[in-house]
Amino acid sequence: MGKIVKERDIPKELGEAIEYALLGGGKRIRPFLFLQAFSLFCDREKEIIPFACGIEAIHSYSLVHDDLPVMDDDDYRRGRLTTHKVFGEANALLVGDALLTLGCELMGSVARKFPPALVGEAQQKVIKASGPEGMVGGQYLDLAAEGKELTLEELEEIHRRKTGALIQAALVGGAILGGGDSVAVKSLELYGQELGLLFQITDDLLDVEGDPLITGKSSQKDEVLEKATYPRILGVKATREKAISHCYAAQKALNDLGDRANILKNLAEYVYYRDR
Ligand code: GRG
């Protein structure tokens, strides 16, 4: 991923800010999911890596913008200062714009090696999931809900869009590009839906119970911003139980794919037990 900036004619300081935001030690779960789904059906992982990097670039853009003072106003991310704290707000806005557009470019670049129709379909899934019907829409609803009481259904809709849509699209995109049939794509879609909710629930739990030295970000932020969260609506114990049921449902969705899907099944457990 380090080559993304070096290989392009990007103004030096902007390039440094992009690298700071992109290469700052995230878990890289979305590109991992994409590559795992792809490799269930095709062994040309090396050639598809730019598409996976594109997904991570889009995810990183969303974090940079989310951390801005006009949004969640966070000083720390991934164990260090947020992009706007280091490079200034205007530059962080541009870094986010750059990562989003670079992400689209990177995904499209694999059309030189894979069937362009499949690349277009997978790319459309990821872009749609990142836009107003998905992540941007979820972020909008999330900001609008600050300080309000939400029902569990309303909370779930926010997270299905904000967190779940891109996770699901990474899996579906990988399966499509790898050549998976419609039944397999559907299984991964269902797995992604459950994993996305599990991911958000554990994110909420980490905000309450996590160690900032391990998570790399401030804790108790949801309470400060008066955000509706699973622990706030259900309590911590019932939230943990809900997380377990999504973990099992995610694993069950992959049963038809057999042992080759074991890594993805194990990943659901990793998300359940994660401490960062
Ligand atoms: C600004 C359009 C726009 C969207 C922002 C992703 C997002 C929407 C906000 C991030 C806020 C947040 C904490 C969401 C909960 C789940 C989530 C996406 C956490 C961050 O993803 P990780 O844990 O991050 O995969 P790393 O650092 O590992 O890449």
Is residue 3, in this structure, part of any structural domain at all?
no
Shortest-distance Cα residue to atom 5 of ligand 1: 62
Q: How many domains is the chain built from? A: 1
Write 71-74 long-range contacts (CB < 8 A, 24+).
71/139, 71/143, 72/221, 72/225, 74/217, 74/218, 74/221
pLDDT given for residue 219 in this prediction: 78
Q: What CA–CA distance (Å, rounded) separates 107 from 250?
A: 26
Protein residues with CB under 6 Å of any ligand 1 atom: 26-27, 29, 59, 62-63, 65-66, 78, 135-136, 139, 162-163, 200, 203
Shortest-distance Cα residue to atom 27 of ligand 1: 26
Ligand 1 mutation pick, 53, 66, 168, 220, max ligand atoms within 8 A of CB: 66
Is residue 4, in this structure, part of any structural domain at all?
no
Ligand 1 mutation pick, 162, 166, 214, 223, max ligand atoms within 8 A of CB: 162
pLDDT in tens, 176-195: 999 999 999 999 999 999 99
pLDDT given for residue 183 in this prediction: 96
Is residue 235, in this structure, part of any structural domain at all?
yes
Shortest-distance Cα residue to atom 13 of ligand 1: 203
Is residue 106, in this structure, part of any structural domain at all?
yes
Global pTM reads 0.94
pLDDT given for residue 252 in this prediction: 98
Return the CATH number at 171: 1.10.600.10
pLDDT given for residue 147 in this prediction: 86
Identify the segments of the chain with pLDDT beneath 70: none
pLDDT given for residue 276 in this prediction: 87
Shortest-distance Cα residue to atom 17 of ligand 1: 163
3 Cβ partners below 8 Å, 6+ apart?
none
> What is the DSSP code (8-state) at residue 59?
H
Q: What CA–CA distance (Å, rounded) separates 182 from 202?
A: 30
Is residue 231, in this structure, part of any structural domain at all?
yes
Specify the amino acid at residue 261.
Answer: A
- Expressed as residue numbers, the domain containing 169 is 9-273
132 Cβ partners below 8 Å, 6+ apart?
140
Q: What CA–CA distance (Å, rounded) separates 213 from 115?
A: 45
pLDDT given for residue 225 in this prediction: 76
Is residue 117, in this structure, part of any structural domain at all?
yes
Location of structure tokens 């958000």: 200
pLDDT given for residue 76 in this prediction: 93
Is residue 177, in this structure, part of any structural domain at all?
yes
pLDDT given for residue 275 in this prediction: 86
Location of structure tokens 């108790």: 220
